[in-house]
Structure 1
Amino acid sequence: MLSETNKKILSLAVPAAFSNLFDMIQVIVDMIMLGRVSPVAIAAAGISMQFLGLLYAFMASFSVGNSAVVSRFVGAKELDEASKTTFTSSVIAFLISIPFTIFGVFFSKYVFIFMGSSEEVVKAGETYLSIISLTFPVIFIEFALYSSLNASGDTKTPLKIVVVANVINTVLAYTLIFGKFGFPALGIKGAAIATAISYYISFVLYLYVFLTKKSIVSFYPLFVKDYAKRVLGIGIPAGVERVITYFSFLLFVKMIAEYGTYTLAGYQVGLRIEGLAFMPGFGFTIAAMTLVGQSIGAKNYEEAQKLGWQTAKIASVFMGFMGVLMFLFPQYFAMIFTNDEKVIQEAILYLKVVGLTQVPLAIGFVLSGALRGAGSTKLTLLINTASLWFFRIIPAYVLSKMFGNVLYIYYAMFVETFLKAGILYYMFKKGYWKRQVKWKT
């Protein structure tokens, strides 16, 4: 039988994990359909997704802070203040979205030029991204609303919304890309229109939830300057961390790309497979942020620490199980994505290494989330950025040049994952984050 604590953790983590899974499925479905159009369409949409990944990194500058502040107010049972924070964060989100929207609508082609794309990809990409960019204000605000629901302990509503949005996107994409049911075949433009419509419908559903008070947190139309400072004070370091991580990841991929097309393809296949293990990790990270933040709001710091530990343990079991499967049966996973023997062998190499890192990766995910829920985003910025560069990027570069084998890049990644998990474990256990908590009620 599950304990009440474990039930509480799983009730938050499982819907959050599935929400992330359905987000991934939407991208995969779109890419599969565009694969029937042309390689140009796939390349254009793929680069657009990378740009959207950068946007999600910037969104952490308000979403993480909003989650921490809202969860504390919920824990303190100050729901009006939580609702004011939600409205304040939504205004911040809208303001941050404006420059990205302007750039995306009028200058999106430069993203593809910067990536060295062909003229065909630049033209197709500009068409796709300029349409998607019209949804940026909606996406940014929705992210604030999404983080507020999670912080209030409601991860089921975002799951329901993403399922509805995915179904709508799939039907519209099929209709508009291939020209079904009397509509013209629009190709990549159709994919963009379908995605944009699904984003707007998702946003309307979120507004319905908040405006009709279907959640314990709603809209309280009052911009509170002090809450804005708290949200950004916690969120900006998290945003900086995500942006640094994003560009560091690109450097890591660039190192792997130097070993040739098959190695890069194998790595990409392995990464997609590993992404399935990430889903429970993301879910438990959200659970840790929420539960730690609410416990701090209730001024129960020992409970916050207990819930952080327990969430990390459960996440380790889920991701550890996935790691065992990746280590023992990597070829079967790789064969789902490709039948090229060279690519499969390269994917197997990656999967065997990362399969052994899933437990420390789970600990790193969850304890980083717990520290963010406690408001210690400067600490996670320092730990995660320093670890990434001093234990992974620099050693991987040096070892790669010394031995000329991609396996040494993966070894550096392996060691860094364990070291970072150990540092986060030590810092969370030491309770440094408790001394950082300054909460005024």
Structure 2
Amino acid sequence: MSSLASVSRLRWIRHQWQRRFARPRGVWALAGPVLVQELALVLTGTVVMALASHLGPASVAAIGMMDALGYLLNAVYGGLAMGATVTVAHCLGAGRRHDLRAVAFSALLLALCSAALIATLLWFTRGLWIAMLLPGAEASVVAQADRYFRWLIVAGLPTSLVMVACGVLRGMARTDTAMRVQLAMNLLQILLAALFMNGAYGSVAGAGSALLCARSAGVVLVLIALWPTLQRALEHPAGSPVRGEFVRAILRVGWPAALETSFFHVGKLITQTMVVGLGTTAMAANFIAFYVSAMLYAPGTALGVAATTLVGMRLGAGQVQRAHRMLRRLVRSASWALTGVAVLVLPLAWPLASLFGNDPEVTRQAAWLITLSCLFMPVWAGSFVLPAGLRGAGDTRYALVVGTATMWGLRIMAGYLMGVVLGLGVVGVWLGMFGDWVVRNLLFRKRMRGTAWTRHRLLG
């Protein structure tokens, strides 16, 4: 009897361990490629900026500020990609694989039309944007910014197609294919930037042309990956492969997600302007800490993509309880993964900060910011992975309202109060950001415990 009791006890312990700490099956098969993709994206941006540094500070300033606007453009395309991911996942969950061709065509058409409209507007108003982003800048900086901005605008067309097509692939759980496309595109961009910025162009135009060529090559690669699906659409006898049902579904998820991400990046730009007013040392420390933190967040970002796809598939199949359980376990898994990363990085905060320069004050402030990021890392999963799962359910409006309110009420207002008014400097600005994380975490967890987020119906 005692041996049977021991076996039962061990089984109970194993069950409790798996229920609380085990990751959902197959989650890293989806998240792993996204993690590699995120790290490669950060590395690509770093290499391009390093190449630009050889052209002088005016080139670095021009590329850096125009790329900040590029992130806003990518937010729109990323929202459409999110809509495509969720719609595809719901179709697969509902057993409607035959509709994937119509979803893919609808998503690509939306991407192309949106990018063409945005490119036209930006091209004829680029002077206003440059004046707004670079007030009082030297003439050389303005000239180079205009030159780079032209390339950035044109590159928006292939960028939109690549991002949305990769969103379709992620919804089909083909994150490995999307990763290969992105890696090839990033590698080509680095090689061409090294060639053009030091040779053929020798200016910011080299960076812009490398971006355009790499994104155009990415369109070819991603269309090859999607060709079996698109070919069936062309051969389908029903007529037009674009269907209003899927256009509406993509927009229903995509536009709130695009607005949320856009507001998020606008908020980040505002907090960056706060840091600019705190001096060069604070600016340098802020840049170093953000670069290191981007590496720390990468596992959580990858798990967020997996959450969107898996929750969408479960709800598409009508498996509400399984979707609820899947999201809880994903958030728990992300919390433990990020906590593990934070524990490893925490004692290395000072050495990591010192890699980016030898100014002791910059290193001290950057190390302090990295330390704070590690301490608040367990909260990050509930703030960002959880809403990614809610978006997979189509619950994008709640995420939009919460994200916008906390961004402006805490990250900006509280950051300004603590960093500028109370004189805490860049640490105060970052404390406002951490307060944003905490409140987002509480509100999204409260939403997850309810059932309202599972009631959205995307497909007819």
TM-score scaled by length of structure 1:
0.92
**Structure 2 alignment gaps of length 5 or more:** 1-13
User: 1:154/1:334 Cα in 2 relative to 1: closer, same or farther (>3 Å)?
Assistant: same
Q: 1:82 to 1:5 in 2, by over 3 A?
A: farther
Establish whether residue 370 from structure 1 lines up as the match of residue 406 from structure 2. Answer: no
Aligned 8 A contact 1:109 1:123 in 2: no
2:351 paired with 1:335: no
Give the Cα separation in 2 of the matches to 1:417 and 1:169: 34
Q: Note if contact 1:60-1:236 (Cα within 8 Å) is conserved in structure 2.
A: no
Report the CA distance shift for 1:360/1:175 in structure 2 as closer, same or farther (over 3 A): same
Note closer, same or farther for the CA distance 1:106–1:412 as it changes in structure 2 (3 Å cut).
closer
| Structure 1 CA distance for aligned equivalents of residues 176 and 235 of structure 2 | 19
Moved more, 49-58 or 102-111: 102-111
1:136 paired to 2:195:
no
Partner of 1:29: 47
Of residues 214-223 and 67-76 in structure 1, the stretch that sits farther from structure 2 once superposed is 214-223
Tell me, in whole angstroms, the C-alpha distance in 2 between the residues paired with 1:5 and 1:18: 19
Percent of counterpart pairs with the same letter? 21
1:38 is the counterpart of 2:48: no
Q: Is the 8 A contact 1:86 1:218 kept in 2?
A: no
**Other-structure match for 1:207:** 223
Q: 3-state DSSP class of the match of 1:356?
A: helix
Gaps of 5+ in 1: none
Aligned residues of 1:75 and 1:294 also touching (Cα < 8 A): yes
1:204-283 alignment runs, 5 A limit: 204-213=220-229, 222-283=241-302
- Answer with 94-103 or 366-375: which moved more: 94-103
Match of 1:383 in 2: 402
**1:87-126 paired onto structure 2 within 5 Å:** 87-115=105-133, 116=135, 117-126=137-146
Q: Residues 79 and 217 of structure 1 are in contact (CA less than 8 Å); yes or no, is this contact kept in structure 2?
A: no
In 1, Cα distance between equivalents of 2:33 and 2:325: 22
Q: Deviations over 1:4-59 (max 9, x none)?
A: 96341000011011112212221111111111121111111111211110101222
User: CA separation in 1, counterparts of 2:418 and 2:188?
Assistant: 48
What letter matches 2:89 in structure 1?
S
State the superposition RMSD in angstroms. 2.4
Corresponding position of 1:293: 312
Most deviating of 292-301 and 103-112:
103-112
Counterpart check, 1:187 vs 2:192: no
Measured after TM superposition, the shift of residue 274 of structure 1 is: 0.1
Cα pair 2:394 2:458 within 8 Å, conserved:
no
Which amino acid is the alignment partner of residue 90 of structure 2?
R
Q: Which amino acid aligns with 1:388?
A: M
Aligned counterpart for 2:184 among listed residues 158, 164, 172: 164
Cα distance, 1:396–1:175 mapped onto 2, change above 3 Å: closer
Residues 240 and 381 in structure 1, CA contact (< 8 A), matched pair in contact too: yes
Aligned partner of 1:57 in structure 2 is 75
- Deviation at 1:338? 1.8
Cα displacement (A) at 1:255: 2.4
Q: Which moved more, 1:210-219 or 1:353-362?
A: 210-219
> 1:215 Cα deviation (Å)?
11
User: What amino acid does structure 2 have at the position aligned with 1:160?
Assistant: R
Match of 1:322 in 2: 341
Q: 1:83–1:219: 8 Å Cα contact kept in structure 2?
A: no
Q: CA deviation at 1:433?
A: 0.5
1:294-352 alpha-carbon deviations (Å, 9 max, x no partner): 00111111111121112212222222223234432211111222222121111122112
Q: 1:192 to 1:383 in 2, by over 3 A?
A: same
Aligned to 1:174: 194
- Offset of residue 156 of structure 1: 0.2
Task: Report if aligned partners of 2:27, 2:306 keep a CA contact under 8 Å in 1.
Answer: yes
Change (3 A) 1:432 1:196: same
CA distance 1:19–1:216, shift in 2 (3 Å):
farther
Aligned residues: 436
